[in-house]
Every structure is written in structure tokens, then in C-alpha cells.
A and B are shown apart, each in its own frame.
Chain A
Amino acid sequence: MSAVSSSASTSAEASPFATLGLEPAFDLDVAALERTHRELSRALHPDRYAGAPAGERRRALERAVVVNQAFRALRDPLSRAEALFALRGVPLGDGHEPQPSQAFLMDVLEWREELGEAKARRDAARVAALGAAAKEGTERVLRALASAFDSEGDLRAQVALLGELRFFRRFAEEVSAAEDDLLDAP
């Protein structure tokens, strides 16, 4: 079997921003987002319908699921960016996203190599430094995305940022796994 796509939402559904009553924006107040999610959960969580007839319970569950999906999509900057690109009609996924720049790919190779070496040497300080660098890289991409969504320019040119963000995320996970290994087997 081969995957065509595995996105958590489809375009036919309401935008996660609309579901949570928010104006589409990349710079979101996360605390406010969490409050809204909490209040909507209070209104729709299945536990509030424990006494309701089966059909009503089912409908409340459907709506609670939609709210939780929207919350998940917007809390994470990566999927929030994907949702915004989708809202602005920029196609994503295989075949639509440009390859990252040559310079970025060179950096990626170098970082991977360094992490591998640091792991082999059990160099905790170096692993931590790479983690900090990944964090810095993530923040740089997030700032770039924020200004891209703010501007009126062509968003198509900015899609490559998503690839960079995905790399930093995976790299940060690898760094965490390396840190765990160092802690678990001193």
C-alpha cells in the first residue's frame, strides 16, 4: 500500500481558525488559544453529555473532535503554518514544495555528522550545544514565517521554510533521544 497523503484535515472542513473563533494569523496568543479550547471543551466534551440520549452524545463527540483537531492544528506552529498556506490557496505536499536551498542542505549534513560524532564520543556538552542551535534555527524560521504571513508578497516563495522547520523538528527530536541515551546509560 502506498500513502497519498496523511494530513489530519481535509480542505472540505472548516478552517481551524474558524472553529476556534479566531482571525487567521501566524502570531497567535497561545495562552488565549488554550483558554478558548478549555471553554469549548467545557461546552462540548463527551463527559458533559453522559446523561444525554445516544444520538446527542454522538453529535457532541463529533463536535468535540473537531474542536480538538483545530486546537492541535493551531497550537503547533508547523501545522498552523500549513493551515495558513491552505487558507491562502498555496498547495503543499509532494510535488508542490520546493527543495531546500543547497546551503541549507550542506548545513543539514554537517549538523547530522556532528551529532553522530558527539554521540559516539558521549560528549554531552556538544549534544546540548547542537540542541541549542536547533532551537535557534527553529526560532529563525518561525520569525521568517511570521513576517511572510504578515506581508502581501507571494507566499509560494516561502513554502521552503516549512521543509526547514520540519528538519529542525526532527533534528531536535534526535538531539533529545541522544540526551536520553547519555542520561540512561552513564
Chain B
Amino acid sequence: MLLEIFDPKAPARAVGIDLGTTNSLVAYVRDGAPTTIEDCNGSMLTPSVVHYDARGHAVVGKAAQALAAESPRETIVSVKRFMGRGGDDPETRRLGPYRFLPPESDGPNVVRFDVRGRAVTPVEVSAEILRALRELAEDELRTVGPCVITVPAYFDDAQRQATKDAARLAGLEVLRLLNEPTAAALAYGLEQRTNGLFVVYDLGGGTFDVTVLLLEDGVFQVKATGGDSALGGDDMDRLLAEDLLAQMGLPADSPERTPALVRATLDLARKAKHALTDAPSVTLESPRGDGALTLTREALERLIAPLLARTGAACRRALRDAGVTASELDGVILVGGTTRVPAVRAYVEELFGKPPLAGIDPEGVVAMGAAVQAELLTNASRDGEVLLLDVLPLSLGIEVGGGVVDKILPRNTTIPTGARATYTTQEDNQTGFVLHVVQGERELVADCRSLARFTLKGIPPMPAGIARLEITFRVDADGLLTVHARETTTGVEQRVTVKPTYGLDDETVERMLLEALDHGEDDLLRRRVLEGRVEAERVLRATEQALAADAALLLPGEAEAIRRAMVALTEAAAGDDPARTRSRLDDLDHATREFAGRRMDQAVARALAGQRLDAVEEGVKHAKGVENAHTERPLD
């Protein structure tokens, strides 16, 4: 170990992170193959459990899990289920040992766990898990670069934003939020040998996703996605735990149901579920030490049947949205630890009429796919090999009169995307406007998820119906929404303040960030310097590559100007002033702007010109790919 001196110049490696409900993993691409990183005990799974000790310090993973039974209220399990949710969410009232604090009256409406009297938000808990994963990766790679973090495809905007906030708090640069089923498809390396239509059935600890995707010539195109962001193995554990508590003679309102007993019974239920994968029945010792309890596989199957039916309904809808039938599928991929339950596998096989593929460990596959994407995004030599075209999982809309939703972007729209809508005032001399942005499929605002309220002020007084408020929605490749509002008759961009309904605002995240760092401002500055360096290196590499690839598109003198900007950026990045690095990055962007535009035009022209040629090859490739799909190893 003494010889392994920390090398600040060691290239930062991009990693992929699966931030799961039950377990989290980190992976990277080693010698061309995605590899999950194991801890010193040889385990790739870090339990997504965070314990706060008496001094308020966080303990993460197995050590935290071991403390869950004795201090159930100070140990947060399955925090993912609370991400992006309000303090009044029904999720907070389900079977579990926690105590919650009400949201601050003028603060953001987020879940706040009461841990020894201190409020802890799910974003902070998740940041602790991410920090632990980063440290795990640093032990193996020394320097960890930017990352790709996976989220359930069915996560809404608030849940995605919360995940990104957690990463920011943990000091991780996020290249991309990637949908878990898409990551799994990538890990299977399907693009190397197959064209065809696939379904990914992803049942994790707390979330269910189904994704229909078409793979053609290295492009994964998500056709439709569906699911339930509050349905998973946890729910099975709760049902089993209720059954065990009933066997112990403790009805739901029994005062003997202490937090410790509930936690212990939930853990016991999880163990029983695992044991029932191989055995037809298990005998368990009561957590109160007063006798034996029994669970059979039949009982498990009966208890979880309604949960499986809910996944089935989501699958049918996804197939319909994609405009395909089960018989057209070339393969079904299983993802998530809960798909180890035999009854789940049998259900999936019956639902889709074919045995699912399960060549890769369903628990490691998502992190591996994230690692592949991180590599594709940072390794210029692999640029363009594979492309993921994902979709918006839930429709976006705006509240109009009568609590009705005006849908602006429908679900399953390919992202990035955008849309524009125009509204007008209802009253004379109305100078302000509140826009309520919601997400969901239902027609009434009350049945959808509230995302944010935008207050637009400073509209010049005019009669009702004259003002034209133009609302522009933009959804990026991470599935994150930004909204702009403008009053067009005066042409003046109005002041808009945004209040996320269930999220943290920027200042809150910034404050948490300072609090989380031992030396506040100093550490933050050091972090900004490092981030600037990483960004500068990436941009310099990409620019170098662009100059080499498209020298023919350069105008006289252009290359020299770009080179000068590159030298200036290199110098700035070597220093320790992040603002200067940022400004040199802008200079380089300015110097390459026209050149980059010409490259983009050329790429578009080639794409449009290539259409006819591709059409000929298409038929041949498809026929070949479908055959290969069926040679894939079926379930053992």
C-alpha cells in the first residue's frame, strides 16, 4: 500500500452508478468490459441503508444495516421510495418504523425524517449512499470522474431532480441520468449482434418499470415505457411481514408493534422471501423469541398475486403504447433482484409467452449498463457506436380553468423534446400569472403530480384576453423539464420565479452542500477547481478530435484562433481560479462556434443523404438479428 502514492494526474475514470432502493452498486469499464466494483468483503452490493450515529455522522451499507433493528428510527432503509415526494405523501404512512417532521412552513415540501430530533431529507440520505459509492470506487480507481446515475424509467421530474441534487451534494458530476431498463439493455450488449424488439421487465426493491425498445443498427429506441414508482420487493416484504405479525397475534393496531419489532419482522420477511426462492417452505424464529413461524411458497404466491397483476397491467399498456403485441417480441429481459422470485419469472413468461433472458445477474446489470454509457460518453474513440433514444415517461401539462390539465407533451415522446403553448389572461388589467405545471395521465390536476408553480409578474395592464403568454417546455436527455414563460404582445421576457412543489430549491441544495463539507467554503472552492479541470480536459480532447476529423471544414486562420483559445484554457485549468477556467471555456466555445456549426450541418446533411443507401441494407440486417436473439441463453 505504501507504494501506491496518490497521483493527482491519474486520469479520472467515469463510473456508472445504480442507486437502488435496496442495494446500490458502482461499476466501470475495465479493458472494454463493464465490471462492478466490490468492497473488501468481495460484495458488489452496498445496502442502500444509512444510519445516523449519536454525533450525527452517517454510517452507510452493511454496517448501517446491522444497526437497523436496534435503532430503527435512526436508520433509513429504502430511502429511494421517498425521493421527490412531499411530506404529506401516503408513502410516509405505510408500514415502517420512521417518525417524520412536518415540512417547514415556508420551506420546500419534502419528506423530513425525524432522526434524533434533527430533520434529514431523502436527498441528504441518498447523498450519503452516493458518497460511500464514490469512496468505494476511489479505492479501486483512485480518481473518480463524472458519472452516469440510473433512475427508474417511470421516475417523474421531481424524483429525477432529487436524484441529481443528491449527486451534487455528494460532489459527483452527473453526465447523464439514465433509465434503468435502457441501462440493462445496454449491458446485454445486444447492439453487437442483434436487431429486434425487446421488453425489459424491471422489478426492483421499490420500483417497477417496463420498457419496450427497438434496437436497430446500434440505436436503442425506447418505444414506450410504463410502470409504478412505488411497487417492488419492499411491498412483498411488507405483505409477508403483515402475515407474520398476524401469526404472532399482533393486529395492525396492536401497541406491541414497536418500531424495532416492525423493522425486525420486515428483515425476517425479506430473508424468508429469499429462502423461498429455493425451498417450498421455511420455518422462522419469531422476532420476539416466542416460538416458530411458517411461510410457504404458496402463501407467498397468493400474497403477491395482486402486485404481479399490477405489473401486468403496466406491461399491457406499454405494449399498446408501443403499438406492438407480445408475439412480435424478440426477447424479454429480466432486471432487478425481485425477478429472482420464481413466481415472478413464471408470471413474466406467461405474460409475454416466451422464456425471459437472464444471462447477466439481474442485480448487477443496471450498474454495468450505466458504466458502458459513462464510457461511451467520455471515451472519444467509442463516440457514435451506440445511441440511446429515450422517452418522456409521463405526460406534462399545465393547469387551466376548472382544475383541468392541458397536456403539453404526451408520454412516450422521444427526448430531448419541447413544446409551446399560448394562454391569455381572464381578467382586465391582470398583471400577474401563476402557472401550475403537472405530470401524469389523468385529466384532473388533483389526480396528477404537481411539479412546480411559476409566478410571472410585471405584465402591462390590458383588457382580459389580450395578453399572450407563451409557455415553452423543454425536456432534456435526462428527462428533466425546464419551463420559460414570456408575454409576447410586449415582447418583454418577464420575471419568473419557480417553486418546485416537492423539491429543494437551488439555495437549499447549496446550503446543504456547504454544511456537508468539513471546511465549507475552502472545500467547495477546491471542488470547483477540480470540476473545472475535468471539464477543460474533456473539452480540449473533443476539440482536438474535431480539428483532426474535420480539418477540411476550417476557414483560413480559424485553426490558429482555436489553438490559441485551447492554450489559454490549458493554462487557466492548471491554475486554481475556477472562474477563470470557466471564462476560458466560454472563449473556446466562441472560437469554435462557427466551425462546430459547420460540423453539425455536415452531420445533418450526411444523415439526410444516407437514407436511401440504408434502406437496402436494412432488410438483410433485421433478418439476421432476429435469429440471433433466439440463440440467447434462456433461464436456467
Contact = CB atoms under 8 A, between A and B. Distances in A.
B387 to A, nearest CB: 6
Contact of B423 (A4, A34, A37, A183): A4
Nearest to A20: B608
A50 B543 CA distance: 12
For A9, A37, A41, which residue has the most chain B Cβ atoms within 10 angstroms?
Answer: A41
Contacts of A180: 313, 316-317
A41 B387 contact: yes
B216 interface: yes
A6 B419 CA distance: 9
Nearest to B425: A1
A115 B465 CA distance: 39
A37 to B, nearest CB: 8
Contacts of A20: 608
A109 interface: no
Interface stretch (B97-105, B515-523, B585-593): B585-593
A51 B596 CA distance: 12
A53 B421 contact: no
Interface stretch (A61-69, A82-90, A142-150, A152-160): A61-69
Interface in B375-418: 376-378, 380, 383-384, 387-389, 399-401, 406-409, 413-418
A63 B413 contact: no
For B175, B389, B469, which residue has the most chain A Cβ atoms within 10 angstroms?
Answer: B389
A183 B316 contact: yes
Contacts of A32: 611, 615
B528 interface: no
A50 B175 contact: yes
A36 interface: yes
Contacts of B610: 39
Given A40-B607, A46-B477, A47-B376, A8 B419 contact: yes
A51 B592 CA distance: 13
B563 interface: no
Interface stretch (B34-42, B135-143, B241-249, B597-605): B597-605
A36 B383 CA distance: 20
A183 B378 CA distance: 46
A40 B608 contact: yes
Given A9-B420, A32-B615, A2 B606 contact: no
Interface residues of A, number: 50
A60 B600 contact: yes
For A53, A54, A55, which residue has the most chain B Cβ atoms within 10 angstroms?
Answer: A53
Interface string A62-99: 01110011011000000000000000000000000000
Interface stretch (B337-345, B505-513, B534-542): B534-542
Interface in B217-263: 217, 219, 221
Given A3-B421, A55-B586, A63 B600 contact: yes
A133 interface: no
Contacts of A51: 378, 380, 538-539, 541-542, 545
A10 B384 contact: no
Contacts of B316: 180, 183
Interface of A: 1-10, 20-21, 31-32, 34-48, 50-56, 59-61, 63-65, 68-69, 71-72, 176, 180, 183-184
Interface of B: 175-176, 216-217, 219, 221, 309, 312-313, 316-317, 320, 376-378, 380, 383-384, 387-389, 399-401, 406-409, 413-426, 433, 435, 465, 468-469, 474, 476-477, 538-539, 541-543, 545, 585-586, 588-590, 592-593, 596-597, 600, 603-604, 606-608, 610-611, 614-615, 618
Given A41-B387, A56-B589, A72-B414, 17 more contacts: A1-B425, A2-B423, A4-B424, A7-B421, A8-B419, A38-B217, A39-B608, A40-B607, A43-B603, A43-B604, A47-B387, A53-B539, A53-B543, A55-B586, A68-B417, A183-B313, A184-B309
